């Protein structure tokens, strides 16, 4: 009976040792998976932060380009307005000069000496 108890006790101890070893193996595997998962999580977080930094840099660059283009558009608009004003001035000068030339041409058609005209009229009478 004592031998049976000892045998049974040894078998129970061996079973417990196997079970303990299985638990240790499972625990090791779970800890390894957890560490691997944490590492992947950290890497994903790092990649996300890196991507956000790239987007922020790209956004800043695009905003800067947009501002430059807006400034360029403003300069072009101002230049266009200036050219329109200059064009209007030139048109006015051209019209003024054209009127002056017409006055000169018209005066060339009119005799300068009104005495000549009076003489002709008196001879006809």
Predicted model pTM: 0.50
What is the C-alpha separation between 43 and 35, in angstroms, rounded? Answer: 12
Confidence at residue 103, expressed as pLDDT on a 0 to 100 scale: 63
Question: 1-56, pLDDT tens digit by residue?
Answer: 777 778 888 899 999 999 999 999 999 999 999 999 999 999 999 999 999 999 99
Longest dimension (CA), the chain: 180
Check residue 96 and report its DSSP letter: H
Question: Using an 8 Å Cβ cutoff, are 53 and 61 in contact?
Answer: no
């Amino acid at each position: 009976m004592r031998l049976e108890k000892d045998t049974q006790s040894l078998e129970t101890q061996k079973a417990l040792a196997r079970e303990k070893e299985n638990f240790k193996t499972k625990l090791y595997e779970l800890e390894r998976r957890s560490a691997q998962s944490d590492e992947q999580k950290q890497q994903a977080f790092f990649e996300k932060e890196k991507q956000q930094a790239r987007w922020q840099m790209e956004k800043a660059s695009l905003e800067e380009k947009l501002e430059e283009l807006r400034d360029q558009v403003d300069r072009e608009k101002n230049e266009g307005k200036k050219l329109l004003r200059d064009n209007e001035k030139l048109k006015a000068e051209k019209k003024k000069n054209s009127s002056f030339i017409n006055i000169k041409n018209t005066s060339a058609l009119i005799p300068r000496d009104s005495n000549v005209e009076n003489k002709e009229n008196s001879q006809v009478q």
